[in-house]
């Protein structure tokens, strides 16, 4: 969250706005108003799931807001080498230098690293782990790479990153696989046992040969193949659990949401809270960080956690309805394209 | 695409061009900014509108960095305090502008500079991040502007907030200090930085004799009441809407826009919505 | 970089090596989830050994040991900021380095030794306590060396305590001593000061850094899945416990004078 430089007079103008009653912000919003959020899924056709999110962009020309691009890509890995039985998730955040022109490349690296750590520690926690990331138990599994690119930062970058991550994960489809096992054919001495796919040995047409591929028994599956399917795969499990974050900026004694860059410079203390709303349970706190220096008490923190949950729930509901709309819109588009063929 | 036809190069007409397009023969016309001569032809070097004044052909680019002229009013932000008696100011131009210590009003008016602890004294006037309004005095040989604040109208800015718009939308007007009837002052910097603040009454401004350094260089804002604050937010949002629709700023336009939004009886934040902004633009165009 | 991991200043081990797998020691109970905590009560923290003034060259230093976490901290400063930009408040710079033998898996000296996430967590915890407005244009460098680590939360908590002690030992003006305590949620119990296995088996971990003398909180770091009520009980438990840790720190400082 690099802040632009701001003069003392501007800082005190913004802070005085929060102290007045009723509290007034620079652009006239209420304390808990978000700027308009625009979301589109399926923006990267080569990725397994993707989303582009912007907060506060000018409706007319699309510029000037916080813009984040998120995409997931699935790779196969061996469990013995790097993988984890049941799959794993790795999150990375890259900041485009155009988003932070005043930072040196070292400072940009540090910023990227900090954002990556927060995102990765939260999303790769076992409590959120989806259960369809394994392929062959103890042998092969999916590695889900979630890559976020920050294209522009006009304040409130963490909320944008988490929302985009949730949208991309919602949109992710895992290719369907089927385990295969290669059995030694009867009568073949010293034939190839287990292991490699593809080679079916010599095809003696005279002999009554049974196929070397027995796809029904998967206990000793040694490899897998992609099934032939018409869609991009099955949806990543646990869609409802992916969390979103809410950043509460804390000018004493109130708090406000969705800060713009000057507001962030004027109010350095903020609390980052990440909530997940599983469908039939009470909400969970998935991560909490305090950023910036200032005075806090446990009582205040408790209030913030409670209030934050309310805001996060509203944001969650709005995001969900938009994601469902996007699903419908893209299915519609696909159907139209198919009909036109 | 030779433009020897007089009608296409009429004075006052505007035709768009792109870099590399031949405009005319260089025998008849002199080339101006935004063009170059090659093989006795005047060729455009930027994408923009062609302007012709008598025998001079220039091309003015639409989206370009601010091109300063002597006498321009600019709003800038101090980026650093350089040791020997000068400040570097970011004025949204190709280079940082320079503000010399000798170009600012010092307390007392008579003293030029203090000899001891120069740097600390300088920070008492302007420090990093401060906003100021100044006039372009001259240019250095490398093209950097030299600013001065040697008038009571110029100096440090307070009691308001900054909006940045593309520099081309701020035209050269008679006065860049505008006052709206809602109690809001506007300073339209020609470099695209616009300062929206609370109105300062004429009578409260300092006279020549009682030049009080404390007041002029202080960072203390005055108390600003709620209605002024709301008005400032409203004006800021109007400016943002106008700039996103690429409409040049002028005091009449801003006044109309402000009255229209007040008539709508909405909040200042309604201007952030797309449809409200479109309605505002539509209403301005019809008048 | 022809070969990764080839460091010609050191005697390199074989390219591929793995940590040895030991037989389970007899005295180490193999603890599994569901069993009550072995060795201490849920709200007990492990005994802390803290000594200030360990490193003579540094302006201030501290060494902290809590069973399997051993951290040495050195404070250099305040000294002149190296960057040219003027800042009217001082800056605090925290660097955390792991010794190669500190974790289960060896950390290569150049590549894996630094850990920025722990550094930012400790910086967040102690920056609010230092009176930086008295130190314009200066930087305070805090170097934390982790000699043995028992989980990241333990490192953050103990590191913050060590850093705060070292700052006080260096005579830098602080508004209060920062102490930190970590907690985890296992089942529906809150356990304080979890070891690495306990933290990994838990559903969520929280580290609270506060200044008990002023009853204010400087940082909260939480990760994992917890209900809001669990978060509150963790924070309260940590805060109560921090008062005890604070008296330990105060005593260690007074002894070193």
Report ipTM for this prediction.
0.84
Is C87 part of a structural domain of the chain?
Answer: yes
Is A214 part of a structural domain of the chain?
Answer: no
Residue A250, pLDDT > 60, answer yes
pLDDT for A159-207, tens place per residue? 999 999 999 999 898 888 887 777 666 554 433 333 333 334 444 344 4
Closest CB from B128, B219, B244 relative to A58:
B244
Determine whether the interchain pair C217/A297 forms a contact, defined as Cβ–Cβ distance below 8 Å.
Answer: yes
Number of domains in chain C: 1
The pLDDT value given to residue C183: 92
Is C30 part of a structural domain of the chain?
Answer: no
Closest CB from C204, C218, C232 relative to A302:
C232
Name the minimum distance, in Å, from the CA of C137 to any CA of chain B: 13
Parse chain B into domains and list their residue ranges. 7-61
Which chains lie within 8 Å of chain C at 3 or more CB pairs, if any? A, B
Which residue is listed with tokens 């509290």?
A23
Cα–Cα–Cα angle for C92, C93, C97, rounded to 5 degrees? 145
> Using CA atoms, how far apart are residues A291 and A78, in angstroms rounded to an integer?
38
Does C225 lie at the interface with A, CB-CB under 8 angstroms? yes
> Using CA atoms, how far apart are residues A285 and A312, in angstroms rounded to an integer?
11
Is A191 part of a structural domain of the chain?
Answer: no
Residue A47, pLDDT > 70, answer yes
Determine whether the interchain pair C85/B81 forms a contact, defined as Cβ–Cβ distance below 8 Å.
Answer: no
The range of the structural domain enclosing residue A47 comes to: 8-172+236-340
pLDDT for A99-137, tens place per residue? 998 888 999 999 999 999 999 999 988 888 888 888 888
Query: The domain that contains A274 carries what CATH number?
Result: 3.30.230.70
Averaged over A84-94, what is the pLDDT? 88
Q: Can you give the pTM of this predicted structure?
A: 0.86
Which pair of tokens denotes residue A317? 């509901």
Averaged over A28-40, what is the pLDDT? 88
Is C127 part of a structural domain of the chain?
Answer: yes
The pLDDT value given to residue A237: 82
DSSP annotation of B125:
H
Nearest-by-CA chain A residue for C208: A298
Determine whether the interchain pair A5/B229 forms a contact, defined as Cβ–Cβ distance below 8 Å.
Answer: no
> Using CA atoms, how far apart are residues A212 and A192, in angstroms rounded to an integer?
10
Is C2 part of a structural domain of the chain?
Answer: no
Determine whether the interchain pair A28/B274 forms a contact, defined as Cβ–Cβ distance below 8 Å.
Answer: no
User: For testing the chain B interface, which of C86, C88, C89 should be mutated: the one with the most B CBs within 10 Å?
Assistant: C86
CA dihedral A312, A318, A319, A324 (to 10 degrees): 150
Nearest-by-CA chain A residue for C206: A288
Name the minimum distance, in Å, from the CA of C136 to any CA of chain B: 12
The pLDDT value given to residue C29: 54
Cβ under 8 Å to A: B residues 59-98: 77, 79
Is A86 part of a structural domain of the chain?
Answer: yes
Determine whether the interchain pair B81/C86 forms a contact, defined as Cβ–Cβ distance below 8 Å.
Answer: yes
Nearest-by-CA chain A residue for B158: A9
Does C176 lie at the interface with A, CB-CB under 8 angstroms? no
Instruction: Divide the 257 residues of chain C into consecutive groups of 10 and give the mean pLDDT of each group.
Output: 64 76 62 70 86 88 91 91 80 91 81 83 92 90 92 91 93 92 88 88 91 91 90 90 91 87
DSSP annotation of C23:
P
Does A298 lie at the interface with C, CB-CB under 8 angstroms? yes
Name the minimum distance, in Å, from the CA of C129 to any CA of chain B: 25
Q: What is the 3-state secondary structure (H, E, C) of chain A?
A: CCCCCCCHHHHHHHHHHHHCCCCCCCCCCCCCCCCCEEEEECCCCCCCEEEEEEECCCCCCCCCCEEEEEEEEEEEEECCCCCCCCCEEEEEEEECCCCCCCCCHHHHHHHHHHHHHHHHHHHCCHHHCCCCCEEECCCEEEEEEEEEEEEECCCCHHHHHHHHHHHHHHHCEECCEEEEEECCCCCCCCCCCCCCCCCCCCCCCCCCCCCCEECCCCCCCCEEEECCCCCCCEECCCHHHCCEEEEEECCCCCCEECCCHHHHHHCCCEEEEEEECCCCCCCEEEEEEEECCCCECHHHHHHHHHHHHHHHHHHHHHHHHHHHHHHHHHHHHHHHHHHHC
- Set of chain B residues whose Cβ sits within 8 Å of the Cβ of C85: 80, 128
Question: For chain B, which ranges sit under pLDDT 50?
Answer: 1-8, 206-210
Name the minimum distance, in Å, from the CA of C87 to any CA of chain B: 9
Chain A to chain C Cβ contacts (< 8 Å):
86
The range of the structural domain enclosing residue C214 comes to: 49-256
Cβ under 8 Å to A: B residues 165-194: none
Cα–Cα–Cα angle for C20, C26, C29, rounded to 5 degrees? 95
Helices A105-123 and A157-171 sit at what angle, rounded to 10 degrees? 50
Cβ under 8 Å to B: C residues 79-108: 85-86, 88
> Using CA atoms, how far apart are residues C223 and A128, in angstroms rounded to an integer?
12
Does A280 lie at the interface with C, CB-CB under 8 angstroms? no
Closest CB from C124, C203, C235 relative to A291:
C124
Does the domain at B7-61 match CATH 2.40.30.10? Answer given as no
- Set of chain B residues whose Cβ sits within 8 Å of the Cβ of A27: 233, 236-237, 268-269, 272
Is A164 part of a structural domain of the chain?
Answer: yes
Number of domains in chain A: 1
Residue A11, pLDDT > 60, answer yes
Is C7 part of a structural domain of the chain?
Answer: no
Closest CB from B221, B244, B277 relative to A12:
B221
Name the minimum distance, in Å, from the CA of B229 to any CA of chain A: 7
Determine whether the interchain pair C221/A289 forms a contact, defined as Cβ–Cβ distance below 8 Å.
Answer: yes
Determine whether the interchain pair A58/B160 forms a contact, defined as Cβ–Cβ distance below 8 Å.
Answer: no
DSSP annotation of C38:
S
> Using CA atoms, how far apart are residues A329 and A316, in angstroms rounded to an integer?
20
> Using CA atoms, how far apart are residues C117 and A296, in angstroms rounded to an integer?
22
The pLDDT value given to residue A192: 38
- Set of chain C residues whose Cβ sits within 8 Å of the Cβ of A285: 204, 222, 225-228, 230-231
Calculate what percentage of chain A has a pLDDT beyond 70.
Answer: 86
The pLDDT value given to residue A6: 86
- Set of chain B residues whose Cβ sits within 8 Å of the Cβ of A24: 226, 229-230, 233
User: For testing the chain C interface, which of A81, A103, A285, A291 should be mutated: the one with the most C CBs within 10 Å?
Assistant: A285
- Set of chain C residues whose Cβ sits within 8 Å of the Cβ of A293: 124, 127-128, 218
């Amino acid at each position: 969250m690099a802040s632009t430089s701001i003069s003392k007079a501007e800082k005190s103008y913004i802070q005085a706005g929060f102290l007045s009653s009723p509290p007034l912000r620079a652009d006239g919003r209420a304390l808990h108003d978000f700027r308009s959020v625009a979301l589109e899924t399926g923006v990267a056709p080569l990725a397994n799931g993707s989303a582009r999110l912007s907060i506060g962009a000018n409706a007319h020309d699309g510029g000037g807001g916080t813009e984040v691009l998120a995409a997931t890509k699935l790779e196969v890995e061996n469990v013995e080498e790097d993988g984890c039985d049941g799959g794993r998730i790795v999150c990375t955040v890259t900041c485009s230098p155009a988003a932070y022109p005043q930072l040196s490349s070292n400072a940009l690296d540090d910023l990227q690293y900090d954002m990556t750590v927060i995102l990765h520690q939260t999303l790769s926690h076992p409590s959120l782990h989806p259960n369809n990331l394994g392929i062959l138990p103890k042998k092969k599994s999916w590695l889900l790479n979630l890559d976020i690119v920050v294209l522009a930062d006009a304040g409130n970058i963490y909320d944008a990153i988490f929302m985009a991550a949730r949208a991309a994960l919602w949109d992710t489809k895992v290719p369907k696989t089927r385990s295969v096992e290669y059995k030694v054919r009867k009568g073949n001495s010293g034939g190839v046992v287990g292991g490699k796919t593809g080679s079916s040995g010599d095809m003696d047409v005279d002999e009554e040969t049974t196929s070397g591929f027995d796809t029904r028994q998967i206990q000793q599956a040694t490899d897998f193949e992609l099934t032939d399917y018409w869609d991009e795969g099955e949806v990543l499990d646990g869609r409802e659990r992916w969390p979103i974050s809410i950043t509460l900026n804390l000018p004493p004694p109130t708090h406000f949401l969705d800060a713009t860059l000057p507001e962030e410079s004027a109010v350095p203390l903020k609390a980052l809270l990440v909530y997940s709303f599983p469908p039939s349970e009470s909400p969970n706190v998935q991560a909490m960080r305090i950023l910036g220096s200032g005075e806090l008490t446990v009582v205040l923190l408790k209030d913030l956690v409670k209030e934050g949950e309310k805001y996060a729930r509203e944001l969650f509901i709005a995001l969900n309805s938009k994601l469902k709309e996007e699903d419908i819109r893209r299915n519609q588009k696909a159907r139209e394209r198919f009909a036109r063929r | 695409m030779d433009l020897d036809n007089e009608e296409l190069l009429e004075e006052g007409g505007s035709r768009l061009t792109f870099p590399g397009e031949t405009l005319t023969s260089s025998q008849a016309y002199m080339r101006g900014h935004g063009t170059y001569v090659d093989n006795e032809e005047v060729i455009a070097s930027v994408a923009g509108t062609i302007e012709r004044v008598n025998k001079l052909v220039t091309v003015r680019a639409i989206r370009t960095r601010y091109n300063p002229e002597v006498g321009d009013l600019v709003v800038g932000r101090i980026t650093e305090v350089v040791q020997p008696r000068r400040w570097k100011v970011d004025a949204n131009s190709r280079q940082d502008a320079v503000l010399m210590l000798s170009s600012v009003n010092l307390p007392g008016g008579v003293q030029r500079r203090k000899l001891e602890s120069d740097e600390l004294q300088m920070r008492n006037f302007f420090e990093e991040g401060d906003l100021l309004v100044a006039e372009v005095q001259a240019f250095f040989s490398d093209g950097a502007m030299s600013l001065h604040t040697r008038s009571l109208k110029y100096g440090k800015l307070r009691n308001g907030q900054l909006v940045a718009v593309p520099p081309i939308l701020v035209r050269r007007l008679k006065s860049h200090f505008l006052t709206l009837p809602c109690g809001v002052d506007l300073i339209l910097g020609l470099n695209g930085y616009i300062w929206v603040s609370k109105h300062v009454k004429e009578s409260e401004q300092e006279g020549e004799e009682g030049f009080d350094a404390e007041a002029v260089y202080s960072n203390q804002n005055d108390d600003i009441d709620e209605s002024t604050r709301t008005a400032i937010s409203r004006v800021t949002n109007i400016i943002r809407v106008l700039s996103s629709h690429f409409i040049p700023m002028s005091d009449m336009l801003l006044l109309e826009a402000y009255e229209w939004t007040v008539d709508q009886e909405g909040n200042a934040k309604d201007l952030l919505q797309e449809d409200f902004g479109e309605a505002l633009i539509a209403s301005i165009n019809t008048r | 970089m022809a070969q990764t991991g080839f460091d010609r200043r050191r005697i390199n081990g074989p390219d591929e090596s793995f940590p040895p797998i030991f037989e389970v020691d007899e005295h180490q109970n193999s603890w599994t989830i569901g069993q009550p905590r072995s060795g201490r009560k849920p709200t007990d923290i492990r005994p802390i050994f803290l000594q200030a003034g360990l490193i003579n060259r540094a302006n201030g230093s501290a060494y902290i040991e809590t069973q399997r976490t051993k951290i040495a901290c050195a404070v250099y400063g305040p000294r002149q900021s190296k960057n040219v930009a003027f800042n009217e408040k001082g800056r605090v710079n925290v660097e955390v380095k792991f010794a190669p033998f500190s974790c289960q898996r060896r950390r290569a000296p150049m590549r894996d030794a630094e850990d920025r996430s722990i550094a930012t967590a400790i910086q967040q915890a102690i920056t609010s306590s230092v009176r930086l407005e008295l130190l314009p244009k200066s930087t305070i460098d805090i170097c934390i060396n982790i000699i043995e680590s028992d989980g990241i939360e333990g490192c953050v908590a103990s590191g913050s305590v060590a850093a705060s002690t070292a700052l006080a030992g260096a005579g830098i003006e602080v508004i209060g001593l920062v102490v930190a305590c970590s907690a985890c949620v296992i089942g529906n119990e809150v356990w304080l000061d979890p070891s690495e296995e306990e933290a990994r088996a838990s559903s969520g971990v929280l580290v609270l850094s506060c200044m008990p003398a002023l009853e204010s909180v400087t940082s909260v770091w939480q990760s994992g899945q917890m209900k809001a009520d669990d978060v509150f009980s963790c924070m309260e438990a940590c805060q109560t416990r921090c008062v005890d840790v604070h008296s330990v720190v105060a005593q260690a400082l007074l002894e070193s004078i």
